[in-house]
Structure 1
Amino acid sequence: MKRYLTFMTFAFISLQTLVYASFAVYYGDVSPTNIDELSKFNLLILSPLVEENYIKELKSKNIIVVGYLSLATIGGWEPWAGEVPDSVIIGHWETWNERETDFSSPQWRDIVLNKAVPYILSKGFDGVFLDNLDYVDKYPEKREAMVELIKAIREKYPDIVIVANRGFSIAEEITPYVDYILFEDFITYYDFNGNKYKIYQDADLQWVLAQAEMLKKLKAKVLALSYADLDNEKQVEEFSKIVCKYAGEYGFEVYMADITLQRIGLNPCENFTKSQVPSSEAKIGEENKNICGSGAILLVIFLPRSLRELILR
């Protein structure tokens, strides 16, 4: 026990030598031309199609790399798509031209647990990014099945890193089984009807902030994904100011990208000091004052799960 406490003390002291962690969501190709740019992040959410040698290279730089896995849709491009029978398909998602899967189906559960996750891990990924959890709101009768599926992933693969995308209506149930919750569309979003990037306003903004408050009360580790036109410098600056204001208030780490996620984005808070962007997180070290977010992420994610859970309580 004494040795354990000594390690804990050393771990937290070591935080003073670390910069704030950062993350990126990028589904484009990884190649020699952009791997250095990707290497500036501490956690990467990438396509499962990324070549193994690039995953290995990123991991050699102490970067956590997780692979994409939708728990409610199949696009046809996934290496496990051929395993999905028509009997599992229950709908069609027109926006991204994907088929909706019955995530309560034992067949789908088997594909996820014994085909998709193993494929991703076999390529060297540290874990999985679970997308489209909001489908529980479209199919509320399958809500419990989604929670059980996420729980099953954790139980079968106890030491992997799991990032869950949204799923606010089941956040309380799934938080014990995931390492992070990605808050996609945090403050800003892409309006597919108007083909414009926008900032949430009025009742919509209040709803977003209510979800942020809920996640904060759950003590979930949140990665906030905001959208903007990266070619529009004025918009990026405008969006960054308001996004970082709220991110600071809730202690969220932020990444800003365009809606395609085929282009490497940025940490929008790098240009704001702690005095400009209020944060609920304590400042750790002088070298960190130009970046907002959770300083503990980089250290905690490398610890054994049992120790991570104790720290994150």
Structure 2
Amino acid sequence: MEVKYIKYLAMLFSAVTVLLVACRRETFDYGVFTGDAMNQRKKYERYDSVVVEPSNFTSRQVESLKEDGRHVYAYLNIGSLENSQPYCKRYEDVMLDRYDGWPDEHWVDVTREKWQRLVVQERARVYKERGFDGLFIDNADVYHRYHTPEVYQSLKSMLASLKRQGFKLIVNGGDVFISETLKDGSARRLYDGINQEDVFTTYHFDKKEYGRQSREDTAYYEGYLKKARKAGLDVYIVEYRAGRELSRKIDAYCERHGYKWYNADSIKLN
């Protein structure tokens, strides 16, 4: 009887463990939803930190998400301009080349004071008033496209201004810019963390297909992220449609290194 009872307890403990693991998987550290057409609070409540399109949120909605201890980041495009933005017409004179893969978007001249005022004063002021904890800075890759000291210093200046306003900053992509700030020792003063897309997966814009990242690129990104983490930065990863087996590998990888990651269903991040 005692043996059977012990076996029964073991089975019960195993079942409870499985149930607890399943429950834990209902909540996640990090999610990026910049392509959402509207506020989907039920979805966001499953995440400890969320990145959202700020135009879809009122200050009351932001505060309501923060009440549970959630960190809410506003998406801020620092290096390019989309035609859909209501202020686009006023900034046509700062537009440069068309953005590959995104036909309704152009790179911008970040050295122009006009553009810098939009980013660090107009946009940042609105997001601060709405109560966002931080900013998810996109398209610092403009420095890779237009590789000049003036572009580099302009990006650093804008990030420093945003940081002084009390925002926590996550820089998405921009590995060329990030690597240079790591070399000159300015990274920690300018931003708090980095986000890298496509470390293990990728999206082929020409074929409009999701797939696995090349081994060479994965190895490059792994080394790059390791340097960022060693410098004391938070590290985040966004993958696209990682399958079950690959997701387990990414889970283990992020657990080992102290990274957070999000598995997106679509390149549109909705």
TM over 0.5: yes
- Per-residue CA deviation, residues 5-52 of structure 1 (Å, 9 max, x unaligned), is xxxxxxxxxxxxxx9971110020344xx3122112111110011231
From 147, 161, 173, the counterpart of 2:156 = 147
Report the CA distance between 1:80 and its aligned residue: 4.3
Alpha carbons of structure 1 residues 117 and 219: separation in structure 2 relative to 1, 3 Å? same
Aligned to 1:104: 111
| Shift in CA distance, 138/206, structure 1 to aligned 2, threshold 3 Å | same
* 1:220 alignment partner in structure 2: 233
CA-to-aligned-CA distance 1:157-188 (integer Å, 9 cap, x gap): 0x222111122223223332222211222221
State the AA in 1 paired with 2:192: D
> Residues 147 and 170 of structure 1 are in contact (CA less than 8 Å); yes or no, is this contact kept in structure 2?
no
**1:233-262 CA distance string (max 9 Å, x none):** xx5203202322332332211111033344
Among residues 182, 189, 213, which one is paired with 2:195 in the alignment? 182
Indicate the residue corresponding to 2:216 in structure 1.
203
- Aligned 8 A contact 2:136 2:172 in 1: yes
**Which structure would you say has the larger Rg?**
2
Higher relative contact order (CA 8 A, sep 6+): 1
Judged with a 3 Å threshold, the aligned counterparts in structure 2 of structure 1 residues 24 and 103 are, in CA distance, closer, same or farther, namely same
In structure 2, distance between residues paired with 1:66 and 1:79: 21
Match of 2:266 in 1: 259
Q: Deviation per CA, 1:194-217, whole angstroms, max 9, x where unpaired?
A: 322222233222212221222122
Q: Which has the higher strand share?
A: 2
**Aligned equivalents of 1:79 and 1:68: distance in 2?**
16
1:243 aligns with 2:250: yes
**Following the alignment from structure 2 to structure 1, what is the Cα–Cα distance between the partners of residues 99 and 176?**
20
* Counterpart for residue 29 of structure 1: 37
Match of 2:84 in 1: 77
Q: How does 1:43-54 map to 2 (within 5 A)?
A: 43-52=49-58, 53-54=60-61
Identity %: 19
The question of 1:90 aligning with 2:96 is answered yes
Find the residue that maps to 1:56 and give its secondary structure.
helix
What is the Cα deviation at residue 221 of structure 1?
0.6
- Structure 2 length as normaliser, TM-score? 0.79
Q: CA deviation at 1:125?
A: 1.7
Alpha-carbon shift at residue 127 of structure 1 (Å): 2.3
SS in 1 for 2:222: helix
* Structure 1 spans left out of the alignment, 5+ residues: 1-18, 229-234, 264-313
Change in Cα spacing, 1:66 to 1:164, as seen in structure 2 (3 Å) is: same
C-alpha separation between the residues in 2 aligned to 1:48 and 1:80? 15
**Do 2:203 and 2:267's aligned partners in 1 also have CA atoms closer than 8 Å?**
no
The more displaced of 133-142 and 143-152 is 143-152
Q: Is the 8 A contact 1:147 1:174 kept in 2?
A: no
- CA distance in 2 between counterparts of 1:132 and 1:178 reads 14
Assess, with a 3 A threshold, how the Cα gap between structure 1 residues 201 and 249 changes in structure 2: closer, same or farther. farther
- Aligned partner of residue 55 in structure 2, secondary structure: coil
Structure 1 residues 81-117: Cα deviation after superposition (integer angstroms, max 9, x where no partner) = 3542x32111211412202110111111111111111
For 2:132, what is the secondary structure of its paired residue?
coil
Deviation at 1:79, TM superposition (A): 4.8
Instruction: Name the amino acid aligned to 2:50.
Output: L
1:40 aligns with 2:49: no
The counterpart of 2:72, out of the listed 65, 85, 88, is: 65
Paired residues of 1:186 and 1:243 also in contact (CA < 8 A) = no
TM-score normalised over the length of structure 1: 0.69
Aligned residues: 234
- 1 CA distance for matches of 2:99 and 2:207? 19
Residues of 1 paired with 2:170 and 2:87: CA distance? 20
Q: Does 1:117 align with 2:124?
A: yes
Q: Counterparts of 1:249 and 1:181 in 2: how far apart (Å)? A: 17
